[in-house]
Chain A
Amino acid sequence: MAVVVVVTNTASKALLLLLLLSLYLVDINAAVLPEDRADALFHSYDGGGVEITGPSILVRKGFGDSVSATINHYVDNVSSASIDVLTTASPYSESRDENSIAVDYLHDNTIMSVALTESVESDFDASTFSINFSQDMFGDLTTVNMGFALGDNIVGQNGNSSFNEQATTRNYRLSVSQVITKNMIMAFAFETISDEGFLNNPYRSVRYLDPTTPVQYSFQAEVYPGTRSGNALAVRARYYLQHRAAIHGGYRIYSDSWGISANTFELGYTLPFRTNWILETSVRYYDQSKADFYSDLFPFQDAQNFLARDKELSSFNSLTLGAGVSYELDNKTWRTFKRGSLNFHYDYIQFDYDDFRDLTQSGSVGNEPLYSFNAGVIRAFASLWF
């Protein structure tokens, strides 16, 4: 809806002049590009019968005063005997390679960024192009980001060479970070995501009551809608405490056209100690409601148009407790570089499902124990600034 301002009197004209003058006098302090750095990360996820490990290497290098580029190579080595695999398939191993390149261009107080990411698995190829504009304004107290990403996915199925489906994802993002006081900064982010195409996992099945079988149930392939749109809104804040420490908190709310709504709460504390050490602790709580077409047990085959028994679409909550420690290397230690850091983070995640049952446990049909599991996540990485 357009807002039309009609300048009807002298006072309005005076205000309009003042407004134009104030815009002209906006304190423009040019934005800066991120520092040159290199990161080498080893990651490990172990939980629910799934082990995923691999490296992630990121290098950022500036060219002149106005261009900075990053490249990232990321690998997931997956060994899976998850509850889904144990219930309807066989354990497997696979790997995923992801490469991305991004270029940032600085002009006055605007940074324009373009990025391309390619991800390759044996049965899933994804390429994503994204563009982002970041603008510092109001005396550098406010930074506005606008971004768009377009992802094209090709979905295959191992053991079925004729299976070939496509899906497209579009992300629209707007975020604002705002200096509140000399000790506090806040950030607001809104993102809307739309998907179109084959959105299923081609390996997963739903179960339905089937009195003709000994276990009283059978499986059939999942059927998802061909479109999905979701909105996420987040607010985050960081506050600087006396004697150099920081606390941060955040809340995100999400809802989508599949009926999923979710809340995420985050709290954290960062405490530098001695000269070169930084200790971090965090807690994250997440809960979501199930998709409209999710059920752990459908009453009969083809019970409805859309069918899902994917636990990621069920009602569940998770709690993460995290701790990390960093050791900073100053340029007295590493003369070749400006500085560096060695970092180790461990996160413990507990997942508790409200309507996804563990079929590896005994129980009458529909009354098996609810599924839950925990996972340990390790991030060990070294960073160098040069």
Chain B
Amino acid sequence: MKLYPNYFLLTVFLLVSGCSSTPWVKPYERANLADPIMSFNRDPVSSSYMAHVYEAREGSRGAGVAGGGGCGCN
């Protein structure tokens, strides 16, 4: 039990330091990621509409890339 705090702090330290101060993908390596074709939601007005199309006709909802509103579903 006495070693638990060491392991906990070590894990948090590795996660925080490993992810932060020296990111494994450097800013100058992110040209491909910055390309608009890599965006999860490139055209919000379009993806929001498709989310509404599905939400009105399915029993499930949530955790999409865009939100809809209202109903218009009969």
Residues of A within 8 A of B (CB): 3, 5-9, 11-12, 15-16, 18-19, 22-23, 25-27, 29, 39, 41, 43, 45, 50, 52, 56, 58, 72, 74, 76, 78, 80, 82, 84-85, 96, 98, 100, 117, 119, 121, 124, 126, 128, 130, 137-142, 149, 151, 171, 173, 175, 177, 179, 181-183, 185, 187, 189-193, 201, 203, 230-234, 236, 238, 240, 244-246, 248, 252, 254, 256, 258, 260, 262, 264, 270, 272, 278, 286, 288, 291, 312-313, 318, 343, 345, 347, 351, 377, 379, 381, 383
* Residues B1-56 near A (CB distance < 8 A): 2, 5-6, 8-10, 12-13, 16-17, 19-25, 27, 29-30, 32-33, 35, 37-38, 40, 43-46, 48-50, 53-54
Whether A18 pairs with B46 at a CB distance below 8 angstroms is: no
Residues of B within 8 A of A (CB): 2, 5-6, 8-10, 12-13, 16-17, 19-25, 27, 29-30, 32-33, 35, 37-38, 40, 43-46, 48-50, 53-54, 57-65, 67, 69-74
Sample of 13 further A-B pairs with CB below 8 A, known A26-B21, A138-B23, A312-B58? A19-B12, A19-B13, A22-B16, A25-B17, A138-B16, A149-B67, A190-B63, A191-B62, A312-B73, A343-B43, A343-B46, A345-B46, A347-B50
Question: Complex: how many Å from CA A132 to CA B25?
Answer: 27
Task: Given A126-B70, A181-B25, A182-B30, verify A246-B38 contact (CB < 8 Å).
Answer: yes
Q: Report chain B residues within 8 Å CB of A171.
A: 62
Question: Complex: how many Å from CA A264 to CA B54?
Answer: 11
**Closest 6 A-B residue pairs measured CB to CB?**
A139-B23, A119-B70, A232-B62, A191-B62, A232-B63, A254-B60
Whether A142 pairs with B46 at a CB distance below 8 angstroms is: no
Question: Complex: how many Å from CA A159 to CA B48?
Answer: 32
The minimal Cβ–Cβ distance linking A183 to chain B, given in whole angstroms, is: 5
The minimal Cβ–Cβ distance linking B37 to chain A, given in whole angstroms, is: 5
The minimal Cβ–Cβ distance linking A162 to chain B, given in whole angstroms, is: 21
Q: Report chain B residues within 8 Å CB of A96.
A: 70-72
Whether A234 pairs with B63 at a CB distance below 8 angstroms is: yes
Task: Given A6-B5, A312-B59, verify A203-B50 contact (CB < 8 Å).
Answer: no
The minimal Cβ–Cβ distance linking B44 to chain A, given in whole angstroms, is: 7
Whether A98 pairs with B45 at a CB distance below 8 angstroms is: no
Whether A72 pairs with B29 at a CB distance below 8 angstroms is: no
Question: Complex: how many Å from CA A96 to CA B56?
Answer: 13
Determine the residue in chain B with the shortest Cβ distance to A13: B9
Whether A238 pairs with B40 at a CB distance below 8 angstroms is: yes
Question: Complex: how many Å from CA A39 to CA B44?
Answer: 9
The minimal Cβ–Cβ distance linking A322 to chain B, given in whole angstroms, is: 9
Question: Complex: how many Å from CA A351 to CA B70?
Answer: 22
Question: Complex: how many Å from CA A187 to CA B29?
Answer: 19
Q: Report chain A residues within 8 Å CB of B24.
A: 141
Determine the residue in chain B with the shortest Cβ distance to A242: B32
The minimal Cβ–Cβ distance linking A212 to chain B, given in whole angstroms, is: 30
Whether A15 pairs with B13 at a CB distance below 8 angstroms is: yes
Q: Report chain B residues within 8 Å CB of A5.
A: 5, 8-9
Whether B60 pairs with A121 at a CB distance below 8 angstroms is: no
Residue in B8, B32, B45, B57 whose Cβ sees the most chain A Cβ within 10 Å: B45
Task: Given A58-B44, A137-B20, A377-B50, verify A288-B74 contact (CB < 8 Å).
Answer: no
The minimal Cβ–Cβ distance linking A342 to chain B, given in whole angstroms, is: 12
Task: Given A141-B23, A182-B29, A244-B35, verify A254-B62 contact (CB < 8 Å).
Answer: yes
The minimal Cβ–Cβ distance linking B9 to chain A, given in whole angstroms, is: 4
Question: Complex: how many Å from CA A185 to CA B24?
Answer: 13
Q: Report chain B residues within 8 Å CB of A193.
A: 61-62
Whether B40 pairs with A381 at a CB distance below 8 angstroms is: no
Q: Report chain A residues within 8 Å CB of B60.
A: 230, 232, 252, 254, 256, 260, 262, 264, 288
Task: Given A119-B69, A312-B58, A381-B43, verify A189-B17 contact (CB < 8 Å).
Answer: no
Q: 18 pairs across A/B with beta carbons < 8 Å? A: A5-B9, A11-B6, A15-B10, A15-B13, A22-B16, A27-B21, A29-B27, A50-B74, A78-B72, A121-B72, A130-B67, A138-B19, A142-B19, A171-B62, A185-B33, A193-B62, A377-B50, A381-B45
